Amino acid sequence: MKRVLIVDDDRATSAGMADVVEEWGYEVESADTVKAGWAAVSKLVPDVAIVDLKLPDGTGLDLLHKIKETYPDVSVIILTGHATVDSAVKALKVGAEDYVTKPVDLPRLQVILQSIEDKQMMKQEILELRRQLQKMGALGHLVGKSPRMQRLFEEVEMVANTDAGIFIVGESGSGKEVVANTIHSLSRRKNKPFIAFNCGAISPTLIESEIFGHEKGAFTNAIKRREGYFELAKGGTVFLDEITEMPIELQVKLLRVLEEGKFRRVGGNEEINIDARIIAASNRDPQKAIADGKLREDLYYRRCASAWRTFRSSRTFSCRS
């Protein structure tokens, strides 16, 4: 039986909707605040959360953000009696499955729930097929049957469908970019660009322009505006290979961008919002790189606190042709 959580401080609406949804064969729980809703999500991990946009201690968008960050597979329907185009767009951008206005059109809600159920069943079928391929020694762009590769497959699958930052550690030629590309191809960003950039393969004076872009006239030979990799990614993934080769002063700027979610082109004043997942890699041990002054400690540990995952690549896999 599928679990549905209704978060609405209007008890009459919540109770009436719960009765109908139960008749459709769902198991229903209710909450009336953002705090109570989050506690219920954490305890139950429902298949679907129907969340009112206006709650006594916050907004449905607040709860939607938290759910999608921690439980990306939970589908969220935003419910409101105060519908606006702006709130609808915001909800859908954050990841809401749909947007329903009060009074609730019950036949439409039933169609939405059935559609969500169909999608989730399809996801399960895809996961099962993927597991079968894993046993045969393949996951995305990765190939390998060894126990180490199977553990790597599990780790990749665990983080792929989140927006967690990733730090991949491995020797040169061990396939760090292959791991990063596989994570991207299994994520919700898979239909967006995967932009790979080797920080050690370009002059330190040009790295900032490559990553952030530049405005016309920002420096000699800057004859026109140029978008950097963060802009080109446009909802996808940016892979910063050999990040420990990035100049320390630029690592400071990168940290600020990751914390604020905004950046400026070289020579520009306009702040641009970043919508890209960051995966970094190095052939150096991060702790030693910090000790050697090659990696800023605050960048590494600040991002660890925000869910950097560290993978140690193995030489035992290869790219699929």
Whether 137-319 and 3-125 are alike in CATH topology: the answer is yes
pTM score above 0.85:
no
Q: pLDDT 10s digit of each residue in the chain, 321 long?
A: 589 999 999 888 899 999 999 999 999 999 999 999 999 999 999 999 999 988 999 989 999 989 988 888 899 999 877 656 677 777 877 788 888 888 888 999 999 999 898 888 877 776 776 666 666 677 777 887 788 888 888 888 888 877 778 889 988 888 899 999 999 988 889 889 999 999 888 887 788 888 888 888 888 778 888 888 999 998 899 999 999 999 998 898 888 888 888 888 888 888 888 888 899 999 998 889 999 999 998 888 765 444 455 666 543 333 332
Indicate the residue type of 162: T
CATH topology of domain 3-125: Rossmann fold (3.40.50)
Burial class (CB in 10 A: 0-12, 13-18, 19+), 214: buried
CATH topology of domain 137-319: Rossmann fold (3.40.50)
Domain chopping of the chain, boundaries: 3-125, 137-319
